[in-house]
Structure 1
Amino acid sequence: MPFSFTKKTSPYPHWEYSNTEYDSLIRIVPERGGLISEWRSEGKDLLYFDLERFLDEDKSVRGGIPILFPICGDLSESYFIGGNKHCLKQHGFARDLPWSIDLLKDKLGIRLKLVDTKDSRSCFPFFFTLLMDVYLKEKSLHLSVKIYNQGQESMPFSFGLHPYFQVSNLQKVKIDGLPEKCIDQTNMKVTNASDQIRILDKGVDFLSYPSNSVKIFDCVSRHVIELIQQEPMDTNVIWTDPPREMVCLEPWTGPRDSLVTGDRKLEIKPDEYIELFTTFKHDSF
């Protein structure tokens, strides 16, 4: 079998799942929010990962693929469930909680699992199970997510991923597939996506609703990353944080503040589940 799944301690404790046929691997830190910290495909490391910051557990992670649940972005105010007021911190709590990890039965990928806790129910009063299956395929990383509502009330939520892709030079990045207009999340005003792309090296944070896949072209290394989105996980955020040489290309189910405004808010009825899919591909050009 070309697959292996091993626990390692260096350069930090993690699990490594690899496929020698494609010269690809992922490294996962389930204890730190189910974080996929590294993705290598055809021998090329594709994700940006700030190891020094990661080792400081008092700081939020900068790198890898953090998981956003039960909200993406932040909330402008408290939200109400059954007449009771609740608060959630930016991007929710999933990226801060320990997940479990297992090899899938067919050994073609790994499964990350998160279950509600007493602490999570204090700010998000629902019983849930979240499963994320991660598959290494040729030149691609495929993620399949199932979220189960195991309570007696409908469960509102948003889900997203926050992948950091490394680039050679922010001034030499091209992005295709975005609609003409986007929302600048620094001021929540509608603006031109092309104007935002021109200032990636200054720092951007904008949201859009692409109808097709989105591609990031690194014009120095000649590598391209493609995000293939599937409804309802078809809201897209692009974020840069200079001088870090990376671009976050983030698939979300809905915009920030969704639980307050209702915009693209998803709900799962009691004893039901929802399934979400997204794929990242890489190639050369």
Structure 2
Amino acid sequence: MSFRQQSAPYPHWEFVHASSGDRLRVVPERGGLLTEWLCNGREMLYFDQERFADPAKSIRGGIPVLFPICGNLPNDRLPLTSGDFTLKQHGFARDLPWQIALLSDQSGVMLTLSDCAETRKAFPFAFRIQMEVRPLSAALEISISITNTSESVTEPMPFSFGLHPYFKVSDLSSTAVEGLPERCFNHLEMAEADTAMQLARLTQGIDFLTHASGPVTLVDEQDGTRVQLQHHEPMDLTVAWTDPPRAMVCLEPWTGPRQALISGDRKLVLGVGESSLLSCRYSVS
């Protein structure tokens, strides 16, 4: 096992698993971003390093973290008992510096984000997120603990949480997604749609949400690689997204749909001192 800071090809922390040699690259200063997951000698994640080098541009690649909302809110406004707050798409966790540490059993890394003056301007609650990332045998396991640490704010803390992993594929035209239900919600038109018809548009660009009853599998038909998302309630919604011509597919576990904090649909709430545990696993075959 090794865990050390590296300067190339960009500043990051590198974790290498003792037995498998699988590698993680993490940039805690840029939203706790996992930029690389090398599994069985194959890089699983898509990462646009040139775009990443320009902090003025949004990141395309790795595994961004979505909190305290997934998607966006009308006019970016979050109405709370204490007033209205401006909260932009996907929240702020993906833009802030996180803390990183080696897990006590040396099986992976712990990423931690706590509230600060900047977050309280958009979201008045005190909180702590602890995310354990473990590269297991042919798998990546992510466990998340979210705690409402507020003292001055007694209103329960509403939130959604999601991950936005970009998986590298050989060619969008030879990529499939298995395990999805027949119907989905198309974010591009904000309407229900036929899932098969959406998947037929991978090369044109898709963005839809589903609630699968079991695992969802991304299949790279050209090289035979299968990446299976195993997610658990409440983080058991799946968003599929492509951004052609990029050779990647995002397979994202979310706890709630867009605007959940307004509609109440699958909105999660934590009282002062309460915690929520979330988890998902990506396995490779």
Question: TM-score, normalised on structure 2?
Answer: 0.97
Distance 1:40 1:247 in 2: 17
Question: Which secondary structure state, in structure 2, belongs to the residue aligned with residue 136 of structure 1?
Answer: strand
- What is the one-letter code of the residue matched to 1:142? E
Question: Which secondary structure state, in structure 1, belongs to the residue aligned with residue 203 of structure 2?
Answer: helix
Quote the residue 2:102 is aligned against.
103
User: Residues 115-168 of structure 1: CA distance to partner in whole angstroms, max 9, x if unpaired?
Assistant: 101110011000001100111100000001000101133100000000000100
Q: 2:271 aligns with which of 254, 269, 272?
A: 269
- How far is 1:20 from its partner? 4.4
- What is the one-letter code of the residue matched to 2:149? Q
User: Residues 60-86 of structure 1: CA distance to partner in whole angstroms, max 9, x if unpaired?
Assistant: 100000000000011124222124011
Q: Is the 8 A contact 2:169 2:220 kept in 1?
A: yes
- What is the one-letter code of the residue matched to 2:104? K
User: Aligned pair 1:218/2:220, yes or no?
Assistant: yes
- Give % identity: 47
For 1:121-160, what aligned pairs fall within 5 Å after superposition? Answer: 121-151=120-150, 152-160=154-162
- What is the one-letter code of the residue matched to 2:283? K
- How far is 1:183 from its partner? 0.6
Distance 1:20 1:43 in 2: 14
Question: TM-score, normalised on structure 1?
Answer: 0.97
- How far is 1:108 from its partner? 1.1
Question: Which secondary structure state, in structure 1, belongs to the residue aligned with residue 212 of structure 2?
Answer: coil
Q: Would you identify which runs of 4 or more consecutive aligned residues in structure 1 move more than 3 Å?
A: none
Quote the residue 1:7 is aligned against.
5
Q: 1:230 aligns with which of 220, 229, 232?
A: 232
Question: Which secondary structure state, in structure 2, belongs to the residue aligned with residue 196 of structure 1?
Answer: helix
- What is the one-letter code of the residue matched to 2:251? L
Distance 1:193 1:146 in 2: 32
Distance 2:214 2:231 in 1: 7
Question: Which secondary structure state, in structure 1, belongs to the residue aligned with residue 261 of structure 2?
Answer: helix
- What is the one-letter code of the residue matched to 2:162? G
Q: Is the 8 A contact 2:164 2:251 kept in 1?
A: yes
- What is the one-letter code of the residue matched to 1:115? S
For 1:192-211, what aligned pairs fall within 5 Å after superposition? Answer: 192-211=194-213
Structure 1: state its 5+ residue gaps: none
Structure 2: state its 5+ residue gaps: none
- How far is 1:21 from its partner? 2.0
Q: 1:35 aligns with which of 29, 33, 36?
A: 33
